[in-house]
């Protein structure tokens, strides 16, 4: 990613971490097409978010797109940053409402848009506890929410209805790059032909407390199919070694993706101990379980695996993605399992029933097609505040 000092007078877009980056990349590409002469400064907060941004924009970057970590929401830091880049607009993805940044943007007549905005009931209650601050912020932002329920939460906090639009979730506008599809197909072919793997399932974005459930399920799968492979992707990089140790303690044959050699037939667990590659490995799996959901973390993005056209499983704790979860479940593209026992039953059923796999894949592809269009609505919303010249 370009590290040079950004030019002034452009667009500032903030995406805190991986999930927000995934939502932001289609917008960044569309902004560059719609405003080709305006520099775009993209900030992230986490290293994983930065890595995913670099990966997803690797083929699209030029000297008019810049990246840095976001400054702390403290007056002196934000003031220096704003004076440096002098943005014409500030676009923040999904959930990040920073009062100092919003206030200083208002003082400098910089429009603020919360794009692809979502809000949980828990977050709304939190903002209501500091109503004096929340109400002040609401007067100075424009909000494009994913769904009507998100809009209701914003309105309850004092956002004027004239500053609100429901655009849908941009994550349904996901596009899988041809190079990514090719890489996934080549990797899967190697696992099938060279490592002799017959069934591949993936546990994505797992949190502490979920890995044990996943490994217990895999042990039962191996009794049915000794050539099955579990790909496990911990949510946080600091847990890579802990998950590796746990896997080996449980008696599995572990292969770490960071090693230089290919997976061999003896290995039955593949640990992805690198960041920014989850989207690729969804394309390798026959079935995916999305973590942060068997423990109360609110779940993670289930649209990515659905976009690959594979059956997807999730635990019950999806309060960060309530509307998306409901749509995917209703379409038959996502199955909710309540505990580790149900996880085992669900994966074993998909292992044994190829027809069920096919039906789940068809439902996944259809629900993506049915929910596209948020990007265009969001770009029109942005253009109303930043006219195309």
Residues recognised as catalytic? 20
Phi, psi of 200 (to 5 degrees): -125, 120
Give the integer Cα–Cα distance in Å for 379 and 386.
10
Any long-range contacts for 78-84 (C-beta under 8 Å, 24+ apart)? 78/104, 79/104, 82/108, 82/110, 84/5, 84/6, 84/8
Give the integer Cα–Cα distance in Å for 256 and 244.
8
Structure tokens at 128: 């209501």
Structure tokens at 299: 């779940």
8 Å CB contact between 21 and 53: yes
Which 3 state secondary structure label does DSSP give 225? coil
Q: How far is CA 204 from CA 29, 211, 284, 288, 317, in A?
A: 26, 10, 12, 7, 15
Give the integer Cα–Cα distance in Å for 335 and 332.
7
Closest CA to 288 of 276, 274, 300: 300
Structure tokens at 105: 């943007």
């Amino acid at each position: 990613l370009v590290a040079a000092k950004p030019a002034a007078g452009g667009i500032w877009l903030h995406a805190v971490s991986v999930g927000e980056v995934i939502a932001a990349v289609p917008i960044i590409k569309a902004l560059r097409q719609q405003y080709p002469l305006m520099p775009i400064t993209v900030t992230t907060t986490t290293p994983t978010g930065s890595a995913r941004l670099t990966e997803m924009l690797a083929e699209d970057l030029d000297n008019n797109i810049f990246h840095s970590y976001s400054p702390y929401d403290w007056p002196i830091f934000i003031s220096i940053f704003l004076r440096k880049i002098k943005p014409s607009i500030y676009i923040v993805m999904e959930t990040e409402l920073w009062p100092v940044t919003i206030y200083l943007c208002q003082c400098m007549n910089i429009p603020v848009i919360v794009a692809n905005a979502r809000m949980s009931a828990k977050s709304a209650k939190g903002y209501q506890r500091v109503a004096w601050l929340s109400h002040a912020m609401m007067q100075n932002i424009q909000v494009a929410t994913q769904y009507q329920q998100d809009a209701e939460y914003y309105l309850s906090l004092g956002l004027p209805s004239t500053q609100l639009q429901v655009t849908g979730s941009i994550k349904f506008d996901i596009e899988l790059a041809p190079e990514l599809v090719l890489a996934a197909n080549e990797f899967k072919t190697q696992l099938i032909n060279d490592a002799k793997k017959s069934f591949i399932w993936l546990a994505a974005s797992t949190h502490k407390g979920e890995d044990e459930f996943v490994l217990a399920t895999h042990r039962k799968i191996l009794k049915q199919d000794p050539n099955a492979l579990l790909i496990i992707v911990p949510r946080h990089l600091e847990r890579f070694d802990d998950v590796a140790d746990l896997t080996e303690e449980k008696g599995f044959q572990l292969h770490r993706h960071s090693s230089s050699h290919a997976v061999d037939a003896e290995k039955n667990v593949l640990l992805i101990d690198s960041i920014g590659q989850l989207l690729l490995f969804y394309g390798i799996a026959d079935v995916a379980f999305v973590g942060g959901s068997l423990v109360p973390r609110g779940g993670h993005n289930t649209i990515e695996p659905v976009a690959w056209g594979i059956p997807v499983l999730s635990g019950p704790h999806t309060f960060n993605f309530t509307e998306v979860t409901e749509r995917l479940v209703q379409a038959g593209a996502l199955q909710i399992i309540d505990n580790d026992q149900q996880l085992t039953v669900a994966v074993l059923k998909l292992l044994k029933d190829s027809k069920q796999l096919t039906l789940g894949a068809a439902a996944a592809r259809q629900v993506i097609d049915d929910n596209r269009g948020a990007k265009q609505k969001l770009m029109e919303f942005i253009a109303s505040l930043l006219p195309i010249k």
